[in-house]
Amino acid sequence: MLEFYSKAKLPTRFGEFEIYVFKNDENKDHAVLVHGDVKGKENVPVRIHSECLTGDVFGSMRCDCRDQLLTSLKYIGKQDYGMLIYLRQEGRGIGLLNKIRAYHLEDSGLDTVEANIEQGLPADNRTYTFATDVIKYFKIKSVQLMTNNPEKIKFLEENGIKIVKRIPLIIEPTEFDKFYLETKKDKMGHLL
């Protein structure tokens, strides 16, 4: 169950947003950034972004998370309206402690999927229930989903969200994240 808690203006380098927070059954503080008036609209550009402390905040080059986040905010900020849903599910849902342990295993030669499995964890433990609830809260009729992840598309569609278009987030690989991106494509089916 989703319950509105509070909102505030959030001017950013990418444009004017409002930041929303909701109460829900997960007991996590997810953020929703809304640009313009999305209520009841069709074809709303939406990015559902899972938290990545190492990438989003510290600028790690082991992944493309920060580049996807910034690219999404720039794109949404140039549109008449759009939304970024920032989910607090670090490390594809395994948490920061296990993510850093996975990094250590990756340093030893495992890929990102193998590192999670080596710890007895799923390759991807994320859920997008909060995101679908938010889209429904704003009565958004259809979205243009900014993603490379087919599982995200599948989850949203199975939960009643109409996706009229996929907006790819293609980030040029670096020497540090090339193997990571190849693994996401080859083992997780990401559309890269």
d(CA 52, CA 59): 10
- 12 Cβ contact partners less than 8 Å away, ≥ 6 residues apart: 33, 73, 77
Question: Element (H or E) spanning 77, and its range?
Answer: helix 65-78
User: Is 80 considered catalytic here?
Assistant: no
Task: Look at strands 31-35 and 163-167 and give their pairing.
Answer: unpaired
- 54 Cβ contact partners less than 8 Å away, ≥ 6 residues apart: 60, 62, 63, 99, 103
User: Is 62 considered catalytic here?
Assistant: no
Q: Which of 67, 126, 133, 177 is catalytic?
A: 126
Q: Which of 124, 166, 177, 186 is catalytic?
A: 124
For 42-71, letters b (16+ CB in 10 Å) and e give ebbbbbbbbbbebbbeeebebbbbbbbbeb
Catalytic residues: 124, 126
